[in-house]
Amino acid sequence: MANVISVIPGDGIGPVIVKSAIKVLEATSEIYGFKLSFVEAPAGDAAKRDFGEPLPKSSFDKIRSSDACLKGPVGETAKDVIVFLRQKLDLYANIRPFKTLPGVSSKWKDVDLVIVRENTEDLYKCVEDVGEEHAVALMVLTKKACLRISNVAFQMAESRRKKVTLIHKINVLRSFELFRKAALEVARSYPSVIIEEMLVDNAAYQLVTNPQRFDVMLTTNMFGDILSDEAAGVVGSLGLAYSANVGDEFGLFEPVHGTAPDIDPLYANPIAQIMASKIMLEWLGRKKGNAAMIEAANGLENAVFYLLQDSKSLTPDLGGRATAEDVTKRLIDVLLKERCKL
């Protein structure tokens, strides 16, 4: 039976890069032998324009009843779409890998880190009181959320370089004590993993001066949001940065970047969206016990890494002249050729 993927094309460059990702997924499923079907779930600025609301109920229902969601970037209505979906579907872990890659220009070599960001609380809970003379936004943290996100970070570190950097601002806000206590409690169950603590301002500095020191960066919602864009700059381009939003039951996969309103969509880099599809396959393959999907995810990642070494396949954000469509066609060619060699 086909796995149903709900698809949010999104705004700006979204429809172009989502189309690329779907083409690549269709080719991948054919090559590796598994079934996917796609159901469009309009959401974002375009949906607000066309249907009167940024996340129509029909779209929400399609997303909730699908096996996984592939989401493109959404513009002004991001809060009503992605912040809402993360909270409503309890997608509490936002996992954002960043790696320097051959062929992609960066000041650094050998950066390989993952930001594990709590995805449902903090200031993005949007508990606000805004008046003419004052504005208040509450930072909400609960022990339950701090424990479960810490577990995700430590589990991940165990299969990597065994180091978690806990990032907070405890010297100013006592609330972070809750987060720290939860992380230290979880750390006791992972004796092979080292935990270090860092204030967020120092983390921002270390990320651009000494990024190789990080393995897993564990942090709260807003800090994780900001540090992610910085990490993307360190490894080369936002056009490469992808993320998983996962809970215990459901997963939604998307690029880290926004709608890139300043560029011609035809020249958008589709790689972040394609890599979001790659971790979607990995997650779905594990959830469903489908080895072909996991193999396909590995094959797709290798094909992307291979492609990025060919300067003719780079989009303008990486210094090249390729269009999103060129990248898509070439990537499918590489996938087909690699598979033939096996």
Which residues contact ligand ATP by CB under 6 A?
13, 73, 75, 238-239, 257-263, 268-269, 272, 317
**Would you say 21 or 281 has its CB closer to ligand ATP?**
21
**Would you say 11 or 295 has its CB closer to ligand ATP?**
11
Cα 137–92–207 angle (5° rounding)?
75
Taking residue 139's Cβ as centre, other Cβ atoms within 10 Å add up to 17
DSSP 8-state secondary structure symbol assigned to residue 38? E
CB of 238 to ligand ATP, least distance (A): 4
CB of 31 to ligand ATP, least distance (A): 25
Active-site residue, 229 included: yes
Closest residue to ligand ATP: CB criterion: 258
Residue type (1 letter), 158:
E
Q: For residues 306 and 331, what is the distance between their CA atoms, to the nearest angstrom? A: 9
CB 25 within 8 A of CB 87: no
Active-site hit among 169, 181, 287, 329: 169
**Would you say 284 or 314 has its CB closer to ligand ATP?**
314
For 281, the 3-state DSSP assignment is helix
DSSP 8-state secondary structure symbol assigned to residue 133? S
Q: What is the DSSP string of 236-295?
A: S-GGG-EEEEE-SS-EEEEESS---TTS-GGG---HHHHHHHHHHHHHHHHHHT-HHHHH
Q: Residues near 56 by Cβ (< 8 Å), separated by ≥ 6? A: 42, 43, 47
Supply φ then ψ for residue 110, to 5 degrees: 60, 35
Residue for token digits 């995810």? 297
CB of 129 to ligand ATP, least distance (A): 25
Active-site residue, 205 included: no
Active-site hit among 92, 124, 267, 306: 124
CB 99 within 8 A of CB 234: no
**Would you say 150 or 228 has its CB closer to ligand ATP?**
228
Active-site hit among 67, 80, 215, 225: 225
CB of 71 to ligand ATP, least distance (A): 13
**Would you say 215 or 225 has its CB closer to ligand ATP?**
225
CB of 317 to ligand ATP, least distance (A): 4
Active-site hit among 50, 61, 201, 310: 201
**Would you say 33 or 261 has its CB closer to ligand ATP?**
261
Active-site residue, 112 included: no
CB 267 within 8 A of CB 325: no
Strand 242-246 with 251-255, pairing: antiparallel
CB of 215 to ligand ATP, least distance (A): 25
Active-site hit among 90, 112, 229, 333: 229
Catalytic residues: 124, 169, 201, 225, 229
